[in-house]
Amino acid sequence: MFRPPDDAVNERGRLSSEHLLAAVSEGDEAAFEVLYDRLAVQVFGLIRRVLRDAAQSEEVMQEVFLEVWRSAPSFDSAKGTASTWILTIAHRRAVDRVRSAQATSDREDRVGRQDLVRPYDIVSEAVERRLEQQEVRRALLELTDAQRQALQLAYYGGYTQSQVAKLLGIPLGTAKGRIRDALIRLRDVLEVTA
């Protein structure tokens, strides 16, 4: 199978991810390879966190990067960074898979048994290699336990707002408020701007 020569790959290594994506949109496979190597670890980390299952995670990983390849021409850097764009695709695909793969009752049992006892304990398990990750971790500590739990069930668990409410045994309006307050608080603590 043809592979872009190493030189072409090395040369692209110094481009920003946004430039790489622009090159990918022109059919540049060497740029795609560099972009994959740059983001694969975090994209796969997110998919595994949502899906757990290794085989399914690999399938979704493949779907995500093929979507990145196919729809690179529609990426608009004015609307966000390349990594946000790719992680958004990855999250949506992982969530779609988790919702279709498991019967709701099965998932609720699973959650009832383990996840609510110690819901996705990302704080204690967080990888601390990167400053950005440390900042996110610190920011998560700024949330109330209730906010963190609701956001983690939604984001890492792939549950909808009404499922979160049901799982936690709280009114829908309360669940909505916690998810919203949690994400907005994170945005403010992390000083994220559009």
97 touches another protein (CB under 8 A): no
Minimum distance of another protein from residue 174's CB (angstroms): 13
Query: Considering CB under 8 A, how many residues would be counted as binding another protein?
Result: 91
Scan residues 39-58 and list those touching another protein (CB under 8 A): 40-42, 44-46, 48-49, 58
Scan residues 104-163 and list those touching another protein (CB under 8 A): 122, 125-127, 129, 132-133, 136-137, 151, 154-156, 158-162
Minimum distance of another protein from residue 117's CB (angstroms): 20
Which of 83, 101, 142, 146 lies at the binding interface for another protein (CB under 8 A)? 83
3-state DSSP assignment of residue 135: helix
Q: Which is nearer to another protein, 106 or 132 (CB)?
A: 132
Q: Which residue has the tokens 């994506």?
A: 21
Minimum distance of another protein from residue 125's CB (angstroms): 8
Q: What is the DSSP string of 51-110?
A: H--HHHHHHHHHHHHHHHHHHGGG--GGG--HHHHHHHHHHHHHHHHHHHHS-HHHHHHH
Residues in Cβ contact with 153 at an 8 Å cutoff, skipping those fewer than 6 apart: 111, 115, 119, 120, 159, 163, 164, 167, 168
